[in-house]
Amino acid sequence: MANHVSALKRIRRNEKRAVINGNRRNMIRTYIKKVEGAIEAGDAAAAAEALKNAQPELYRGVAKGIFHKKTAARKMSRLSARIKAISGK
């Protein structure tokens, strides 16, 4: 158990940040699920719009340290490829 005031404060801060990071991660997952739902429905226009909304949130997660940069890039690339496939381009 931590004995120093600074260590106790760090534990409290880490617990608060874990909740905030978890909420943001769940929000990003929801955005991605909206894109995937539109892709499954075969609606390329809705999927492209959902991807456009998901992109800034995904990269904001990278900036906040929730996701690795290459993880976000991989997700964007795969979603974009799937949208391109259903749009017939």
Q: Which sequence spans correspond to the domains of the chain?
A: 5-87
User: What DSSP line would sit under 9-43, residue for residue?
Assistant: HHHHHHHHHHHHHHHHHHHHHHHHHHHHHHHHHT-
Mean of the per-residue pLDDT values of the chain? 95
pLDDT per residue of the chain (89 residues) written in tens, 0 to 9? 788 999 999 999 999 999 999 999 999 999 999 999 999 999 999 999 999 999 999 999 999 999 999 999 999 999 999 999 998 76
Query: What is the distance between the alpha carbons of residues 29 and 66, in angstroms, rounded to a whole number?
Result: 12
Query: What is the distance between the alpha carbons of residues 76 and 84, in angstroms, rounded to a whole number?
Result: 12
Task: Give the predicted TM-score (pTM) of the model.
Answer: 0.85
Query: So what's the architecture of 5-87 in CATH?
Result: Up-down Bundle (1.20)
The pLDDT assigned to 88 comes to: 79
By CB atoms closer than 10 A (0-12, 13-18, 19+), residue 5 is: exposed
